[in-house]
Amino acid sequence: MPDTGRRMTGAEACSPTRILLVEDDQRFCRLLQRYLEEMGYSVALCHTGPAGLDMALRETFHAILLDVMLPGLDGFEVLRRLRAHSAVPVLMLTGRGEEADRIVGLELGADDYLPKTFSMRELLARLRAVLRRSILSSAALAERRDPVVVGELTIDPGAHTATLAGNPLRLTRQEFDLLLSLARSHGRVKTREQLLLEVADRDFEVLDRSVDVLISALRRKLGDDPTEPKWIETVRGVGYVFKKAGNA
**Residue 243 lies in domain:** 148-247
Candidate from 112-126, 150-164, 203-217, 218-232 with smallest mean pLDDT: 203-217
| 128 in any annotated domain | yes
- For 200, phi then psi, to 5°, come to -80, 140
Other Cβ atoms less than 10 A from the Cβ of 238: the count is 13
Query: Is 208 a residue whose pLDDT tops 80?
Result: no
Q: Same structural domain for residues 92 and 188?
A: no
Q: How far is CA 55 from CA 21, 48, 113, 162, 236, in A?
A: 10, 11, 21, 42, 31
Q: Same structural domain for residues 133 and 159?
A: no
Q: Same structural domain for residues 112 and 71?
A: yes
| 226 in any annotated domain | yes
Confidence band, pLDDT 50/70/90 cuts, at residue 138: low
Query: Is 151 a residue whose pLDDT tops 50?
Result: yes
The per-residue pLDDT for 2 is: 34
Q: Same structural domain for residues 135 and 240?
A: no
- pTM of the entire predicted model: 0.60
Average pLDDT over residues 94-113: 77
The per-residue pLDDT for 52 is: 97
Q: Same structural domain for residues 35 and 126?
A: yes
The per-residue pLDDT for 6 is: 39
Compute the residue count for the chain: 248
